[in-house]
Amino acid sequence: MPLALVSTYQTFQLMSFKQIAVIGAGTMGNGIAHVFAQSGFTVKLIDVNGAQLEKALQTIGKNLDRQVSKGALSEGQKSIALANITTHTDLAVGVQNADLVVEAATENTDLKLKIFRSLDEAAPANTILATNTSSISITKIAAATKRPNKVIGMHFMNPVPVMKLVEIINGYATDKAVTDAIVAMSTQLGKVPCVVNDYPGFIANRILMPMINEAIYSLYEGVAGVEAIDTVMKLGMAHPMGPLQLADFIGLDVCLSILNVLHDGFGNPKYAPCPLLVNMVTAGYLGVKSGEGFYQHTAGSKDLVVSERFR
Ligand code: CAA
């Protein structure tokens, strides 16, 4: 086949996504599975932990119910979305017919490299391998495979069914046809794709995390209290959550780890994490997931109660 035709044929092949595999059934993984299934794709949700898969299906069911109760989805559409998802504990079985794999495992470089090595062996040669990493280098993850041109970042925001953005990150070797296919696919999901290049923090976290860090520094230096800092940003800048509430929502450990990536990656002291953030993470005060951060988080309650430590 002439070279131009081979390339067109490959682009066409890349465009015809039907089966999606999602690796990791945590908060991001279940949200990603939810939006693909709702958009009519067949989804294989894969996690080594069977109990986590059960929990993820329950969460997806609850979030679909929420959409039904708001009139955004019919009962029939909810049933179809749920029927589109099957769960697997065996990665090799789950990805064997996948057109696209979206990895959303824990944010740990060694783990992601290991997963991508396995994906490269188990998934068909044409399968695009995407990662939902919030800060690990796409180029580094891609280099663990023999298909770095088919590896790309697909960074969804939490809560995935609600947030419109997908930050699409080109690794150094990502093919343009792959980027184009992922842009088109993200639009099919009802999302708004933004393409960026692979440098520390990409765009979302390069801008978000210094803002969160500055809010924590303002608290640490006694410029203002938790409520005042968050209210200024909520009412003054129309942010849906103040930066300290958002840090609790994202997880203080995740914020710290992303700031460390920025600090190490750029070698610029402006990214140095605030010592208060470091202390809170060391002590296990991680925000919503641990029950306390800048706020107290009681299960089932939406009330914002500032942590006693900051009153
Ligand atoms: N699934 C489906 N729908 C959901 C949902 C979920 N998990 N969570 C909330 N919703 C829906 C609700 O049903 C509601 O729908 P309607 O507007 O149709 O009524 C809507 O979202 C708003 O929800 P609530 O009324 O319950 O609550 P809220 O108004 O306080 O909004 C929020 C909640 C959407 C989370 C809002 O506070 C918000 O936008 N917060 C900021 C979120 C944000 O910045 N996310 C990015 C974090 S950074 C990141 O993810 C990347 C990273 O790398 C760190």
Can you give the CATH number for the domain in which 302 is found?
A: 1.10.1040.50
E-strand stretches of the chain: 19-23, 42-46, 85-88, 100-103, 128-131, 151-156, 165-170, 192-197, 295-296, 305-306
- What is the model's pLDDT at position 299? 82
Sign of the Cα torsion 294, 295, 296, 298 reads negative
Residues 31 and 177 in one domain: yes
Pocket of ligand 1 (CB under 6 A): 63, 66-67, 70, 134, 157-159, 161-163, 204-205, 240-241, 246, 250, 254
Evaluate whether 234 touches 242 at the Cβ level (below 8 Å): yes
Residues 229 and 177 in one domain: no
Structure tokens at 291: 């029950």
Residues 128 and 255 in one domain: no
Residues 70 and 215 in one domain: no
Structure tokens at 287: 């925000």
For residue 102, what are the domain limits?
Answer: 3-197
For ligand 1, atom 9, which residue shows the shortest CA distance?
Answer: 162
The number of folded domains in the chain is: 2
Please give the model's pTM, rounded to 2 decimal places: 0.93
What is the per-residue pLDDT across 93-131, written as a single tens digit (0 to 9) for each?
Answer: 999 999 999 999 999 999 999 999 999 999 999 999 999
Residues 242 and 269 in one domain: yes
Residues 290 and 141 in one domain: no
Residues 88 and 135 in one domain: yes
Question: From the candidates 170, 205, 257, 307, which is the catalytic residue?
Answer: 205
Domain boundary among 170, 197, 224: 197
Question: From the candidates 63, 132, 134, 218, which is the catalytic residue?
Answer: 134
Residues 213 and 188 in one domain: no
For ligand 1, atom 20, which residue shows the shortest CA distance?
Answer: 162
Give the C-alpha distances (Å, rounded to integers) separating 214 from 232, 248, 289: 13, 15, 22
Domain boundary among 178, 197, 216: 197
Q: Which residues of the chain carry a pLDDT beneath 50?
A: 1-9, 12-14
- What is the model's pLDDT at position 101? 98
Coil, helix or strand for 128? Answer: strand
Number of neighbours of residue 308 by Cβ within 10 angstroms: 8
